[in-house]
Structures are given as structure tokens and as C-alpha cells.
Amino acid sequence: MAGNDLPGALAGIRVVELAGEASAYAGLLLAGMGAGVIVVEPPGGHHSRGFEPFLDDEAGPERSLWWWHYNASKLGVTLDLDDEADRDRFRSLVGTADVVLESERPGRLADLGIDHDTLRADHPELIWVSLTPFGRTGPRAQEESIDLTVLAAGGPVWSCGYDDHAIPPQRGGGNQGYQTGSVFAVLSAQTALLARDRTGQGQFVDVSLHAAANVTTEFASVQWLVAGEEVQRQTGRHAAVEPTTFTRALSADGIDVNTGFPPRSARDFSAVVEWMESLGLKDQFEEFFFLEMGTRLEEDLHLSQVGQDPEVTAMFGAAREAVRFIAQNITAYDFFIGAQERGLAVGIIYSPEEVLGDPHFQQRGFPVEVEHEDLGRSFTYVGAPYIAPKSPYRVRHRAPHIGEHNSILEALA
């Protein structure tokens, strides 16, 4: 399904992307949807070619796996934007583009005479998406910023960490501050393209990483906006105004699982009883009696009764403990499958690389092989976020070498 080679949804759309840490993921997603993305680097290559990890841990501009991942499916050209002749080439290249994507510091491109304001008169249909830490005009627009500070200033960090508040709050891994901004940059480009279908006009879009993080915190913002209440971080669960109980268990093979919501219906209790019996764990679980009581419930347990009604409290507590007890006695994968097959929503806490071997991802064709003909090898990359049979999302080819497609520029001259 994911492997079909039909053109993508954005086939025929050209995106000119100025290489940047924050916008690289946006360009990757647009290229995956079929846009022709040309990433523009300085002559020696963009500095993110110096980012770890490296092929065989050896640094080198063509060996950065960071660059490989974020620039797959793109073509690459080099231009020295400090040089007037190259700026002319950039102007010509922009003249062929539907979308410009850039994450330059506010003011830099205006100083060089190659910003949207300067170029829009000649290209009224051009869509220009700018992705900057704080947007282009706010009072903090010139602050120094990286993924870590985006997530700290924007809210996500406050909600992530441990019950013990002597431990610093945590930044989730994987450049999620940059990527969240990039996701909104993609939505912006698509929205502007759909608007252009109707009006024929392009426009400028100002995307802010800080704003993107701020509106991506679920309860933390809404709880404050609506009720003036502050959520507090908790180990492995939602930050909340009132503390909640555990959802984590360590399985028999040392891998953590998320145990989900405890059983609350007679059907759920019956599933847990049957599961415990089939595993031969019934006799080792002292509160089994309360699970059996739960199988006779006529109405689902209500959370408001927990702590009030002694029987409900006992059943609810036993159910939660029973699920944890099962997890501790079997492997994480068996727990995940065993619970889900019984209609209980739980999760296995995979490390990123473990995802690729899971049957779900395998059957959906998620891991994809990308040919590196220059190395005579191919490598497995992460694939498509969704399956679109008529306009597939694809990782089309490896990231470009420095200046690999400079012939595109020659053709403009």
C-alpha cells in the first residue's frame, strides 16, 4: 500500500527551502507528500551536516544521520547569499517556486534584499512560510533560541518529569519543539495552497515555534485559561491539578508498560479474571475475590465513588493492582497483546528503534529502505504517517550531497 509509486498529493508543487534546523522537518514532510523540495545550503554545506549521529561515528558532511533523515526526498543546491550573483540566482529560483520555506533570523533576508516584501511584487502567487522562534515581530523576536528553550519557554517542559519535584522537569526527546513548529509550517503551506486555488493569490505566513509549543500542551493551557488552575508534573502520566495514581508497571522482561485505565465494567473484570486464571496467577493474587465481585457489577464503577464506597474502592484498587501484577509476571509484549485482545487499552513503552520490528509497523509498510547508491548500501528509515492510496506519502530518495543538484541553477540562467 505505502509502496505504490503514484505521484504524491503535492506533485508539481515546488518548494524552495533555506536549510535550517527548525524547518528541516517541514521540508521533509512536504517532500514526502510529493512536493519537489529544493534545499538551499551555503557553499560548504549547512551546519546541520555537522550534527550527530554520524555514519560509523565518523564526522563528515555527507555522514550526518541527522542530515540524512531530515533532508531525505529533497534536492540540494548551494548558494552564497552574501554574494550578489548568487542572490540573483536565488531570486530566479524563487521565481520558479510555489512555496518558500525559511527559518532565518527576522531581518536577515530583508537586509539582503531577498525577503518576501521585496520579491512579492514580481511573484504575487508565491507562498512564503517563515518559521522563527518567536514570530517576526513580537517583543522577544530577537531572543536566542534552540529546541530546549522553545520547549521550556513554551510550556511543554513544565508538564513533563517526575513525581519528585527536586528532579528537574524534562524535555521530551527528538527535537519536538522544532518539529511541532514544522508541523504547523506544513499545515500553513497546505492551507495557503488551498486558498490560492480559489483566489490565485499567494501570501506570507509567519509561524512561531514558541506559539506552536504554547498551544500544544493539552490541559496545561486549557486548565489555566478556563479554570485558573495550574497542573503539576507526575512520573509517566498527565500533569494534573490533583495527583493521580500509577499507570506504569515493569514487566518480567524489564520493559515498562502503560497499564491504562483500570477495569471498571463487569466485562473488563471478567476479562481480567479469565486472563489471571489462564496464566495460573489466580492463587498468587490475594484480592482475587474483589475481581470476582467486579464480574457481577450491574453498572460500571464510577470514579467519584472511589474513596467513598468501601466496596467500590476495594474493587477498583484490586483491578488496578491485578493489571500491574499480570504485567510483572509476563513479558511486556505478551502483556500488551494479552490486554488489548481482551479489550483493555494498554501500551508497551517501546524505544524508537524497537518500533520498526513490531508487526503493526511491519504490516503497514512503515519501515522503508532508502538506497544510498553512493555507499553501495541501503538503510531503513521511518516511513509514512498515513496511508493515502491515491496520493501516497513516500520517502523518495536519500538526502542530497552538498551542491548535488546545482544543475537546477544552471538551467535557470
50 binds other proteins (CB under 8 A): yes
CA distance 212 to 351: 26
328-387 residues near other proteins, rule: CB under 8 A: 336, 340, 343-356, 358-361, 363-364, 366, 379-387
* Smallest separation (angstroms) from other proteins to the CB of 208: 5
Q: Which candidate, 24, 17, 8, 61, places its Cα nearest to that of 38?
A: 17
Smaller CB separation from other proteins, 5 or 410:
5
203 binds other proteins (CB under 8 A): yes
DSSP class of residue 263 equals P
CB 3 within 8 A of CB 27: no
Which one of residues 16, 68, 264, 327 is an interface residue with other proteins (CB under 8 A)?
Answer: 68
> What is the contact mask toward other proteins in residues 243 to 262, using x (rule: CB under 8 A)?
----xx-x-----xxx-x--
CA distances to 16, 76, 105, 345 from 62, rounded to whole Å, are 21, 12, 26, 43
195 binds other proteins (CB under 8 A): yes
* Smallest separation (angstroms) from other proteins to the CB of 316: 18
Can the peptide bond before residue 263 be classed as cis, meaning omega within 30 degrees of 0?
A: no
CA distance 359 to 114: 49
339 burial type by CB count under 10 A (0-12 exposed, 13-18 middle, 19+ buried): buried
CB 160 within 8 A of CB 233: yes
Of the candidate spans 9-17, 266-274, 276-284, 311-319, the one that interacts with other proteins by CB under 8 A turns out to be: 9-17
In 122-198, the DSSP E strands lie at 127-132
CA distance 149 to 167: 18
Smaller CB separation from other proteins, 110 or 293:
110
* Smallest separation (angstroms) from other proteins to the CB of 31: 13
* Smallest separation (angstroms) from other proteins to the CB of 339: 9
81 binds other proteins (CB under 8 A): no
110 binds other proteins (CB under 8 A): no
288 binds other proteins (CB under 8 A): no
CB 181 within 8 A of CB 132: no
Smaller CB separation from other proteins, 79 or 101:
101
> What is the contact mask toward other proteins in residues 141 to 180, using x (rule: CB under 8 A)?
x-xxxx-xxxxxxxxxxxxxxx--x-xxxxxxxxxx--xx
192 binds other proteins (CB under 8 A): yes
